[in-house]
Amino acid sequence: MAMLGKKRSPRRASGVSGLAREPQPKTSSASGVTAEGTDNGRVRIERLAHDGRGVGHLASGKAIFVERALPGEQVSVATHLTRKRYDEAHIKQRFDDSPQRVEPPCVYFDRCGGCNLQHMTMAAQREHKCHVVRELFARQGLALADDIAMLYTGAEQYRRRARLGVNVDGQGRVRVGFRAAGSHRLVDIEHCHVLVPALQALLAPLREVIQRLEAPRSVGHIELIATPDTCALIVRQLKPHAGDAERWQAFADGLAHTAPTNVALGLLQGRHTPQMEWLTEPPELEETLALPGRQTLTLGFAPGDFLQANAAVNAKMVAQVLDWLMPAPGQRLLDLFAGIGNFSLPAAAAGAEVVALEGDPAMVERLADNARRNGLVVRAAQADLNAVDDVATLLAESAPDTVILDPPRAGAEALCKALANAPRRAARVAYVSCDPATLARDVAYLVAGGYRIMQVAVADMFVHTAHMETLILLQDASSPAASQETHAVS
């Protein structure tokens, strides 16, 4: 499933994704890559790659990445992609099972690309994510201690936003679903194991109306968003169609009588400069952020704004950052890549003097509105957080005591260089990342500049996937508090 907003980049297409699909012979002399469906016999799986694939070695010594294979298992494999240094393969037969293996709870597991770790126990999934973080930090010369905190809940139906794809195959059949792993091919689905119940209940009626459309090819995708009080469906209509617009309107009119919750439906029409038209009353989308022992906050947002997919784990993540930074009256806190105020508002509610910077002007306006609706004072402003000179200037002007970073997947390289070299450094930095590789790179700049890693936590934001959020607390080594605390580097 793709994400609303632009924090995470799409998956790279690379080869065959599951046992149900036969590899097609193909060669590419330009790239040195071949895909021939070669039978390579038995392989013993030694470990997991970062993306959750099993890793073993062929008799020749060449590494091979095997989809859905677990450490310790012996498998017969068929190679579907051959590269110079390694091969990519899928299982033909499994001769033994790892203790970490379980039956996947979703019937689409072998085809859908959304949840690639469903064949692993929850404990194994979470340990794997912690191992990935340790390994990526080790590559930067940073050896993390063993006690990485894990933030999670027991809920598997967690996903409150998703993108439902629509296409028509060569036989004219309408498909509604999610992309296959490493492919643009759409997997037709009737239900999704990880969607919140309110969105799950809308899949069947959506499928019915899409299959009645005269021009289903003009529908690119449908965004699904759930809040505690409202569900919003945004149909991406690439080319307006009068007859189908009437069908969508009839569907919208019927939602008021059949949907179990309040549902808003909008058409986002046009290919290059799409315009939004709500077929129901425009929704008031609100995120409720309830933190133990703290003020419950209401954050408004719009379709397209970045919003974490897992509300419960997001609340745990915000609470963890607040526990680390202990915002209090008089503390100057700088929130960078602030979004709609996920961290800014709770810090301001605790009394901190918050400056919140964000690159998207619309998000800045939303954050300011959210501060007002909650009776909080936050200075929200737009800034290019990737421009080194601008970053150095804003750090000098704001002179923060503490800094929160929550950047997109590309990370915050310029910011971390500036933070490390600032004449007056922030005493504490909390870095929240959706990509542990860019996080490790950026933290290495901070450590080289005189910061120490004090705490590490992994948030299991995306259950059954190899994705995670990683949280790091760093302390200026020259700060008196740093010498009194046990840091998280072994």
Task: Name the residues annotated as catalytic.
Answer: 434
Beta bridge partners, 226, equal 231
CB neighbour burial string for 126-161, b if at least 16 within 10 angstroms, e if fewer: bbbbbebbbebbeebebebeeebeebbeeeeebbbb
In angstroms and rounded to an integer, the radius of gyration of the C-alpha atoms of the chain is 24
Q: Residue 198 carries which side chain, given as an amino acid letter?
A: A
Measured CA distances, 288 to 90, 291, 345 (Å) = 43, 10, 12
Q: Nearest Cα to 226, choosing from 294, 301, 293?
A: 301
Q: Is 190 exposed, middle or buried (0-12, 13-18, 19+ CB in 10 A)?
A: exposed
Q: Nearest Cα to 318, choosing from 300, 302, 295, 301?
A: 295
Secondary structure (3-state) at 158 = coil
**Cβ atoms of residues 368 and 356 within 8 Å:** no
Q: Residue 257 carries which side chain, given as an amino acid letter?
A: H
Q: Nearest Cα to 223, choosing from 197, 209, 202?
A: 202
Q: What is the DSSP secondary structure assignment for residue 39, as one 8-state letter?
A: E
CA gap 281, 124 in Å, rounded: 45
**Cβ atoms of residues 400 and 325 within 8 Å:** no
CA gap 236, 457 in Å, rounded: 37
CA gap 350, 356 in Å, rounded: 15
CA gap 458, 440 in Å, rounded: 13
Instruction: Return all residues near 46 (Cβ < 8 A) that are at least 6 apart.
Output: 54, 55, 56, 57, 71
Q: How many CB atoms lie within 10 A of CB 246?
A: 10
Measured CA distances, 278 to 235, 269, 281, 351 (Å) = 10, 11, 7, 39
CA gap 469, 466 in Å, rounded: 10
CA gap 333, 378 in Å, rounded: 10
Secondary structure (3-state) at 467 = coil
Helix (H) or strand (E) holding 453: strand 451-459
